[in-house]
């Protein structure tokens, strides 16, 4: 038997997730997405999947500002800035550095920043400024063959988007059946801030943005 003291990043993550579990009213929505165009464009543009998702979500948050909110006590704050956190797993634990004003940045700028933050995270060089100020979070376990999962909301944010793997599966379009690269988008949101219908419309908008990735260039 081995005992390890809970400390550092692991302790901070545990405290935040425990707070979220005790203090949010999470609801989970899932939606399947056709990733055919995204797969082709990702290879052509040499842009990572997460970068497309950051841009797609940031664009959707402009249309659904209540999803870009936080709640503390009995007060809801809706932000004009769209600051996207991207969860990154490191040897020290899970961190979620922030891409500030992601809705105002180009896809290329977002991709460069995601790569820089990932490198800094893995070498323990992230600053406090890079780890704070987020208004929405995305997390991706697709590289580990996860189909879908319901992540825990990053408090005090309203929502978090979980991304599963892209895999070729049967796809029906009318009477025609083919195989296409599909993935599952999972939105977990705090029902205290936003109701199910606008949350569903937000997720549908994210899906449409990703199924038309040229609109994100």
What's the average model confidence in pLDDT over 179-193? 97
Is 74 annotated in the active site? no
> Residue 57: which of 204, 182, 155, 181 has the closest Cα?
204
CB 175 within 8 A of CB 194: no
In a domain, 3, yes or no: no
Q: Which of 81, 119, 195, 212 is catalytic?
A: 195
Q: What is the pLDDT of residue 117?
A: 96
Strand pairing category for 176-190 and 75-78: unpaired
Q: What are phi and psi of 96, to 5 degrees?
A: -140, 75
pLDDT given at position 43 = 86
Whether the predicted pLDDT of 18 surpasses 90 = no
In a domain, 164, yes or no: yes
Q: Predicted confidence band at 11 (pLDDT cuts at 50, 70, 90)?
A: confident
Range(s) of the domain holding residue 204: 8-216
Q: Is 174 helix (H, G, I), strand (E, B) or coil?
A: coil
What's the rounded mean pLDDT across residues 109-131?
Answer: 95
48-106 per-position pLDDT tens digit: 999 999 999 999 999 999 999 999 888 999 999 999 999 999 888 889 999 999 999 99
pLDDT at 197: 98
Tokens representing residue 174 in the block: 């009318």
Q: How far apart are CA 28 and CA 51, in angstroms?
A: 23
Q: Which residues have C-beta within 8 Å of that of residue 107, sequence separation ≥ 6?
A: 45, 47, 51, 52, 55, 216, 217
Burial class for 25, CB neighbours closer than 10 Å (0-12, 13-18, 19+): exposed
Options 81, 119, 191, 212, the catalytic residue: 191
For residue 195, indicate whether it is catalytic.
yes
Higher pLDDT, 10 or 56: 56
- The pLDDT mean for the chain works out to 93
Domain with residue 145: its CATH number is 3.30.559.10
Q: Please report whether residue 2 resides in a domain.
A: no
Spatial neighbors of 165 by CB under 8 A, at least 6 apart, are 141, 142, 143, 144, 145, 146, 147, 183
So what's the pLDDT on residue 77? 97
Domain for residue 1, yes or no? no
The total of structural domains in the chain comes to 1
pLDDT of residue 167: 96
* Cβ atoms of 102 and 110 closer than 8 Å: yes
* pTM strictly above 0.85: yes
Q: How are beta strands 136-140 and 84-86 bridged, if at all?
A: parallel
In a domain, 156, yes or no: yes
Q: 178: Cβ–Cβ under 8 A, 6 or more apart, which residues?
A: 170, 171
Buried b (16+ CB within 10 A) or exposed e, 144-162: eeeebeebbbbbbbbbbbb
pLDDT of 32 reads: 96
């Amino acid at each position: 038997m081995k005992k390890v003291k809970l400390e550092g990043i692991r302790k901070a993550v545990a405290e935040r997730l425990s707070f979220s579990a005790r203090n949010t009213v999470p609801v989970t929505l899932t939606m399947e997405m056709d990733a055919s165009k995204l797969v082709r464009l990702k290879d052509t543009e040499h842009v990572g999947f997460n970068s497309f998702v950051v841009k797609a979500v940031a664009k959707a948050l402009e249309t659904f500002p209540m999803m870009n909110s936080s709640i503390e006590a009995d007060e809801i704050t809706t932000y004009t800035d769209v600051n996207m956190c991207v969860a990154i797993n490191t040897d020290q634990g899970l961190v979620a550095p922030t891409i500030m004003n992601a809705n105002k940045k180009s896809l290329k700028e977002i991709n460069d920043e995601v790569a820089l933050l990932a490198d800094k995270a893995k070498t323990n060089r992230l600053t406090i400024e890079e780890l704070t100020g987020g208004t929405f979070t995305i997390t991706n376990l697709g590289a580990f063959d996860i189909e879908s999962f319901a992540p825990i909301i990053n408090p005090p944010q309203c929502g978090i988007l979980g991304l599963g793997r892209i895999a070729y599966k049967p796809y029906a379009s009318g009477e025609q059946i083919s195989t296409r690269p599909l993935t599952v988008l999972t939105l977990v949101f705090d029902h205290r801030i936003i109701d199910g219908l606008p949350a569903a419309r937000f997720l549908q908008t994210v899906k449409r943005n990703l199924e038309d990735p040229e609109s994100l260039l």
